[in-house]
């Protein structure tokens, strides 16, 4: 497989009053025809959300979505009546399955929240009903070792997606 390296300063960038976001792939107003996806990986964003702000209720389907807080507390809510705050040391995986509405907002009224979000495209068949899973990571350094730990750690959590090199791709 040919290696492709995209340096951090070449990522797309969106900035609003409430959001400062860097995009590895085409997203929001950033479009690059050479950066639509990498296999099943469609979104890899580094987001910073202002206190009390966030992504209000919106729909997803046929996606696996992973949220990894790097700093602060992220409030998740969805149409399946799940509501939870996730924080540093936890990963939330959400299968949108046949369809779900959800929100992710900063749980703090004073501090920003920083998190990585990843969307994986799913197979056309075998998509389950939506579900949420929260995983606690023990002895995992997000800041210093995420490049080597992130994909191997989360790829096996996506049984319905085709992530190149992951057990689910077989």
Question: Is-contact 100 94, C-beta < 8 A?
Answer: yes
Task: Please give the C-alpha separations between residue 134 and each of 4, 14, 60, 125, in angstroms, as whole numbers.
Answer: 31, 28, 18, 24
Dihedral, CA of residue 168, residue 130, residue 99 and residue 117, to nearest 10? -60
Output the pLDDT for position 123. Answer: 64
Output the pLDDT for position 159. Answer: 45
Taken as a whole, the chain contains a residue count of: 170
Output the pLDDT for position 169. Answer: 37
Q: What would the CATH number be for the domain defined by 8-157?
A: 2.60.120.10
This prediction's pTM: 0.76
| Closest among 78, 148, 69 to 111, alpha carbons compared | 69
* Regions of the chain with pLDDT less than 50: 139-170
């Amino acid at each position: 497989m040919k290696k492709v390296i995209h340096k951090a300063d070449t990522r797309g960038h969106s900035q609003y009053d409430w959001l400062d976001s860097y995009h590895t792939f085409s997203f929001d107003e950033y479009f690059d025809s050479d950066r639509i996806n990498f296999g099943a990986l469609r979104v890899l964003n580094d987001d910073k959300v202002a206190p009390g702000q966030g992504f209000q209720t919106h729909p997803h389907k046929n996606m696996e979505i992973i949220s990894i807080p790097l700093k602060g507390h992220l409030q998740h809510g969805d149409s399946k009546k799940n509501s939870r705050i996730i924080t540093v040391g936890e990963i939330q995986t959400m299968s949108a399955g046949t369809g779900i509405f959800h929100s992710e907002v900063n749980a703090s009224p004073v501090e920003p929240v920083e998190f990585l979000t990843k969307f994986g495209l799913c197979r056309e068949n075998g998509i389950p009903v939506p579900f949420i899973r929260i995983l606690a990571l023990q002895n995992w350094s997000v800041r210093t070792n995420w490049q080597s730990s992130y994909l191997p750690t989360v790829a096996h959590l996506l049984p319905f997606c085709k992530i190149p090199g992951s057990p689910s791709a077989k």
